[in-house]
Structures are given as C-alpha cells and as structure tokens.
Amino acid sequence: MSANILRFFVFGLFFGVTVAFAGEPLPVIAVKPHAVDLAFPAESLVEAVQQTTVGAQVAGRVLEVRADAGQVVKKGELLMRIDAREAAEAARAAEAQYANAKVSYERTKSLVAQKFMSAAALDKAKADFDAAAANRSAAGASQSHASIVAPMTGIVARRHAELGDMAMPGAPLFTIYQPGSLRVTASIPQYRLKEMRAVTTARVEFPELGKWVDAVKVQLLPTADAATHVSPVRVTLPDVPEATPGMFARVHFVTGRAEKLTVPATAVVRRGEVAAVYLQTPDNRLSLRQLRLGDAVGQGEIEVLAGLAAGDRVVTDPVKAAILLKSGR
C-alpha cells in the first residue's frame, strides 16, 4: 500500500471518513456469528516418513552424475559412477594374497599330515587363509559399489557430491525421500498437554504455498525434552505434492467449536497497533471502521471482539477500497 493511502487510512481512522462511490462493485461479505474451530497453533517443519541417505562404499573420484535435487528416480536407477581403479587394485592385491594363503595352507596341511609340522602351524595357516578369503570377498564387493543406484523409488531431496569430488567410504552422496508419505512434528508446552490428549483433529497451514490441509492423524508421543519441557506431537499429512521436507508449516490443533463473529484476515488493514476494515453502508458509501481483534480462528479468519455487528458488510479488498476513498469516487 502506498504512503499516501496509508496516510489517508490513518486520517480515516481518527476522523471517520465516509465517501460515496459508484462504478465497479467492490467484493463484500456480510459478517455474522458462525461456528468456527477453536484451535491453538504450533510451528513445525515438514519431514519425510520414508527417507534414506545413499553413501559411498568405495573411495574414488566422481566420474559421472546422473541425478540432481528434485529429480524423480526409480529403484535400481543409476545415480552416480565412481572411479573404482583404487578398488580394482585392492581387489587384485586381495586375490593374490588369497592365492598365496591357499597354497600355504594346503602345503602346511600336507606337512602336518606327514608329522613334519605341528598342529599349531596348521591353525595359523588356516587363520591366514580365512582372513585372506574374507579380504578377497570384501574387496570384490567394494569394486561392485562403484556404481551408485537408487535404493528406492522417490525424489532426490539433495545431492551431496559434485562431478570430480573425491568420494570416501561412508560419505553421503544423495538423500532420497518418498513424497507420498510426509509428516510434521510440533513441540507442545507442558501446560497444553491436558487439552492436547483429547485432540484428534488438526489443520496444517503452509504459509509459503497459501494452502491448508486436514491432518490424517495426530499422535502425542510419550516423551518430553528435559531441557525445554516440551512434548513432540506427530501429525501425518495427506498427499501434498507441493510440500517438501524442511518446509515450514503451522499446525492448528482443534480443541472444540464455538460461535464467533469473524472477518477474513485479508480484509484487515493494520497500521502499527491499529486494525480496521472498510465497510459498505446501505446507502452505497465506504467507511473505515476500527476494530478490536482476537485470535486467528478457522481458516484465514480473525475473531472480532468489538467494532462490528452482525449484518455489517465488510469489503474484502482493502487496497481497492482505499484507492476509491482516496479518489473520492
């Protein structure tokens, strides 16, 4: 809203501007008490129910990248290739060690049978052979891990390595999640726990998306943080294609219903501590009415404590109303 309109807004609040208008009709609603959900909000972040981090199991430089953040991948699909030359060299060395250990074990076994060597020597040869066999198996498996594939069908939330980076065993390469199974976890203070135990319904608001959804399930977890004295509440979401892990969400836990006089939050004009709405009078005039507001209720509504009566016609486009008032039309 421009500075001139804001100045006119403040002038109208304190001097009661009323202007007749004509022309294009304004969007208005007639307010009246109606049943709304009583709820208290809690901030949270979206998280994936099924999410996995794909890590490197072999050291080597990243040779090829085939997936990026936001991409849909299928189980078994190739995501990345790592230079496995070091792993191949280790596999060849392990194979040679295995061959030598096998020959030594067979020779020792023959000599023990002829009483030329002790049973202890045979035990040591057998242990060396078993260790070489295990090392050979591990080296061969590491070589096969040079091709990184998706362990499940889902969306790549993040790629942790770039082309040319050096991958090390255990280092994360991709984070993948399934979009159809998302949830949020909110923290509830202890003084809310008594009413929270009876809550079975919640609505989840995504401010960035301008979207509200009904929760599928509300579950109060039987734990509490010793430092902050809050308890986690897990809220299962329906399918929300636009939502992604890490996105901010606000959960409104419904504790009951009551009759309230409300106005749309978008109809309210604020200037500092002052709040008002534009009214359309029966004689087709516009006036600015200061309000005393309560808490947010329902979906995008605010309770009106004083300043409006049932039947008052509130303009839902305050910017357009302010322009009309300023122009005197």
Q: How many residues does the chain have?
A: 329
Break the chain into its structural domains and give their ranges: 3-33+261-327, 40-49+179-255, 53-83+148-176, 85-145
CB 236 within 8 A of CB 183: yes
CA-to-CA separations, 21 to 15, 132, 266, in angstroms, rounded: 19, 93, 22
What is the C-alpha to C-alpha distance for residues 67 and 48, in angstroms, rounded to an integer?
A: 19
| pLDDT tens per residue across all 329 residues of the chain | 444 544 444 444 433 444 444 456 788 889 888 888 788 888 999 999 999 999 988 778 888 999 999 899 999 999 998 886 666 666 666 777 777 878 787 888 777 787 777 778 777 878 887 787 777 766 555 555 688 899 999 999 999 999 988 888 889 999 999 888 899 999 989 888 888 888 888 999 998 898 889 999 999 888 888 888 899 999 999 988 889 899 999 999 988 888 888 888 888 998 888 899 889 888 888 888 888 988 877 777 888 999 888 988 998 888 888 887 777 65
Q: Given CA atoms 284, 289, 292, 298 in this order, what sign does their dihedral have?
A: positive
Query: Residue 11: what pLDDT?
Result: 42
Structural fold of domain 3-33+261-327: 2.40.420
Q: Given CA atoms 140, 141, 142, 148 in this order, what sign does their dihedral have?
A: positive
CB 301 within 8 A of CB 252: no
The edge-to-edge listing of strands for the beta sheet with 51-55 is 51-55, 172-177, 154-159, 72-73
Three-state secondary structure call for residue 136: helix
Which CATH number applies to 85-145: 1.20.1440, 1.10.287, 2.40.50, 3.40.50? Answer: 1.10.287
CB-based burial label for 74 (10 Å; 0-12, 13-18, 19+): exposed
Element (H, E) at 167: strand 166-167
Through-space distance between the first and last CA atoms of the chain, rounded to whole angstroms: 19
Number of alpha carbons in the 13 Å side-chain half-sphere of residue 44: 31
What is the C-alpha to C-alpha distance for residues 299 and 297, in angstroms, rounded to an integer?
A: 6
Domain 40-49+179-255 superfamily per CATH: Efflux pump adaptor protein, beta barrel domain (2.40.30.170)
Q: 257: how many CB neighbours lie within 10 A of its CB? A: 13
CB 231 within 8 A of CB 193: yes
Residue 26 DSSP label: P
Q: What CATH number does the domain located at 53-83+148-176 have? A: 2.40.50.100
Contacts of 100 (CB under 8 A, 6+ apart): 132
Element (H, E) at 288: strand 285-297
